[in-house]
């Protein structure tokens, strides 16, 4: 019995208002007419497609999974037809640049569409999500000839794209990869090696797959400085765009995983007698730089996968709580209890409120991160472009780590609402927990994201990038202080946590300046959690300010609920931030006092 997912259109539309997306994008000429007249019908159509086409095959994909025989991967029933409909409807290209055949919509629009599509069927959504990253990498770094040959059918969705980084001995430490690329006389390269964890590395939904492969050219520098990027198609592409011979690319096996069963996670072999034919992207030894174009977009969306598991898990839990009769809520008469369901129990309410408040904060953060990508990519003036790049740099590790961690936590809470019925597969809610669990791991584990925030992002512009973000938070607090009693109370709670975050940030900066890098690294994950909790409070504050205005104009219960959710976040979730202070300042001693063999 699958969860009956319904796209939360009104929540998504409100999210775009909270981050002020329309005013921000008005500064970019190609998006100057971006408005709710575009957003609302787009989300409505996307929701209809997700509910009618993708959601019905979600449980089928989970139960049956992708299968492999003789290196041929077959998708579960319904997936090939669903992908064909997906590509034909244009969902694969809506936020891709118009000059390469895309819909020309801003990146931030894909926040809503990808949320909807992946909430309905996360495993399905991984294929076009990775393709979008591959398209960006080629569009920014490929030659015109490569763009002309590979982009049209990637953009149309007729082909899919992958990223091939990891190897059996080389996970996140890409400096140790051994896949080799030897230059041929005709300018192509012969690629030999094995790659692992390749999402949709092989499948039967499209006629061709374009792999972006990291490899080393003989004689290149050691470590990450010697990595190059290559286009390696499954089938060779002729000059007229038709498909030629099969390249020496083979799927050896697919992984048996905890979740996302319909997403084939492949072990890929590049080689054969002559090696797989590959085309160098850009210059030799700059592959990791090019791949980061793809990886940064993917990291933001991996955070979004946490959101996409939490939202349907919440919907299922809320419906179950409205239906399930069990026990008499404290303080309720026996007579009233006869008509009561578990949603009347305070603890169930607490769980549902926790999920609902967090999913709002997660959504606002992810959308704002993507909005900053639009500024970085498309702003006409350098000042705005630089601001987008800076803010995107700060937000990306938080979006990836904080949001994906919450995706696991909230999916687990949903199971708790169901009780024993959540733990059995019959209700379908357990799938969200299993699917969500991968998000904190891939595209750079969340520990790596925490280190990235600590050592690369906090020092940006001598720490001024962080100060500029906190200044915006403080401006929002000052705005709240001029509002009614509700807003003033929220402002006081947020002010306390922002002050503590600022003090802890300065303390960590001092540690790094003193060379106490191990102490700083031991604090990275709790600091990430503190940062996420506070930045979530910032977005909930913006939501409260907007909801107050909307409610005054419309008297719509939807906005009254948004105010309540912001208040709940400030009172019951935001204070968790201060709880990380002690662990941040504890240092490395306890971590290294026990001998490794004694664990």
Could you give the residue numbers annotated as active site? 443
Q: Are strands 159-164 and 208-216 parallel, antiparallel or unpaired?
A: parallel
Kindly state the DSSP code that residue 354 receives in the 8-state scheme: H
User: Quick one: 18 exposed, middle or buried, by C-beta within 10 A (0-12, 13-18, 19+)?
Assistant: buried
Nearest to 40 by CA among 63, 13, 15: 13
For 281-350, the DSSP string reads -SSTT-HHHHHHHHHHHHHHHHHHHHHHHHHHHHHHHHHHHHH---S--TT--HHHHTT--GGGSHHHHH
* Residue appearing with tokens 């993708």: 54
3-state secondary structure 543-564: HHHHHHHHHHHHCCHHHHHHHH
E runs forming strands in 153-200: 159-164, 180-183, 189-199
CA distance 506 to 398: 18
> Which H/E stretch holds residue 491?
helix 485-513
CB proximity list for 551: less than 8 A, separation 6 or greater: 559, 560, 563
Nearest to 11 by CA among 150, 112, 129: 112
CA distance 181 to 152: 26
Does residue 547 contact residue 487 with C-beta atoms inside 8 Å? no
**Other C-beta atoms lying within 10 Å of the C-beta of residue 98:** 11
* Residue appearing with tokens 């999920």: 355
Q: What angle do CA 156, 162, 164 make, to 5 degrees?
A: 160
């Amino acid at each position: 019995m699958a969860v009956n997912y319904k796209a939360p259109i009104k929540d998504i539309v409100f999210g775009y208002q909270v981050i002020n997306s329309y005013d921000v994008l008005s500064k970019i000429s190609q998006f100057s007419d971006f408005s709710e007249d575009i957003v609302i019908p787009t989300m409505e159509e996307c929701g209809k497609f997700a509910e009618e086409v993708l959601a019905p095959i979600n449980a089928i994909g989970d139960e049956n999974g992708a299968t492999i025989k003789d290196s041929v991967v077959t998708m579960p029933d319904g997936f090939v037809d669903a992908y064909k409909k997906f590509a034909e409807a244009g969902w694969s290209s809506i936020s891709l640049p118009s000059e390469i055949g895309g819909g020309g919509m801003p990146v931030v629009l894909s926040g809503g569409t990808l949320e909807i599509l992946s909430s309905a069927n996360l495993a399905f959504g991984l294929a076009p999500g990775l393709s979008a990253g591959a398209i960006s990498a080629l569009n920014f770094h490929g030659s015109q000839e490569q763009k002309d040959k590979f982009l049209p059918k990637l953009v149309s969705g007729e082909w899919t794209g992958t990223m091939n980084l990891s190897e059996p001995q080389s996970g996140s430490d890409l400096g140790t990869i051994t896949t080799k690329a030897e230059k041929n006389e005709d300018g192509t390269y012969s690629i030999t090696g094995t790659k692992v964890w390749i999402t949709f590395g092989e499948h039967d939904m499209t006629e061709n797959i374009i792999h972006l492969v990291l490899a080393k050219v003989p004689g290149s520098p050691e470590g990450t400085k010697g990595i190059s990027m290559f286009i390696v198609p499954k089938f060779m592409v002729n000059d007229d765009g038709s498909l030629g011979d099969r390249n020496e690319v083979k799927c050896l096996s697919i992984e048996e995983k905890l979740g996302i069963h319909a997403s084939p996670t492949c072990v890929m072999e590049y080689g054969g007698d002559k090696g797989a034919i590959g085309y160098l992207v850009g210059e030799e030894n700059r592959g990791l730089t090019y791949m980061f174009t793809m990886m940064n977009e993917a990291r933001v969306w991996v955070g979004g996968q946490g959101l996409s598991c939490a939202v349907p898990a919440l919907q299922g839990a809320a419906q179950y709580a409205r239906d399930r009769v069990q026990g008499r809520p404290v303080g309720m008469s026996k007579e009233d209890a006869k008509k009561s369901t578990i949603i009347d129990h305070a603890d169930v309410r607490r769980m549902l409120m926790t999920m609902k408040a967090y999913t709002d904060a997660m959504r606002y953060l992810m959308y704002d991160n993507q909005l900053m990508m639009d500024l970085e990519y498309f702003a006409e003036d350098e000042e705005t472009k630089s601001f987008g790049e800076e803010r995107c740099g700060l937000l990306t590790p938080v979006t990836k780590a904080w949001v994906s961690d919450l995706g696991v936590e909230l999916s687990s809470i949903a199971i708790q609402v169901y009780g024993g019925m959540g733990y059995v597969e019959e209700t379908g809610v357990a799938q969200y927990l299993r699917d969500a669990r991968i998000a904190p791991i891939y595209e750079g584990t969340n520990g790596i994201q925490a280190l990235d925030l600590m050592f690369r992002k906090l020092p940006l512009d001598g720490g001024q990038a962080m100060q500029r973000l906190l200044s915006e938070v403080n401006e929002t607090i000052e705005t709240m202080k001029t509002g009614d009693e509700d807003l003033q109370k929220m402002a006081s709670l947020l002010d306390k946590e922002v002050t503590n975050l600022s003090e802890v940030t300065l303390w960590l900066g001092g540690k790094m300046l003193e060379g106490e890098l191990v102490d700083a690294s031991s604090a990275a994950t709790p600091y990430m959690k503190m940062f996420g909790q506070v930045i979530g409070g910032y977005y909930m504050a913006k939501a409260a300010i907007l909801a107050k205005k909307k409610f005054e104009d419309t008297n719509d219960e939807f906005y009254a609920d948004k105010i309540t959710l912001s208040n709940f976040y400030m009172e019951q979730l935001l204070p968790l931030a201060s709880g990380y202070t002690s662990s941040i300042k504890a240092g490395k001693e306890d971590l290294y006092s026990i001998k490794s063999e004694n664990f």
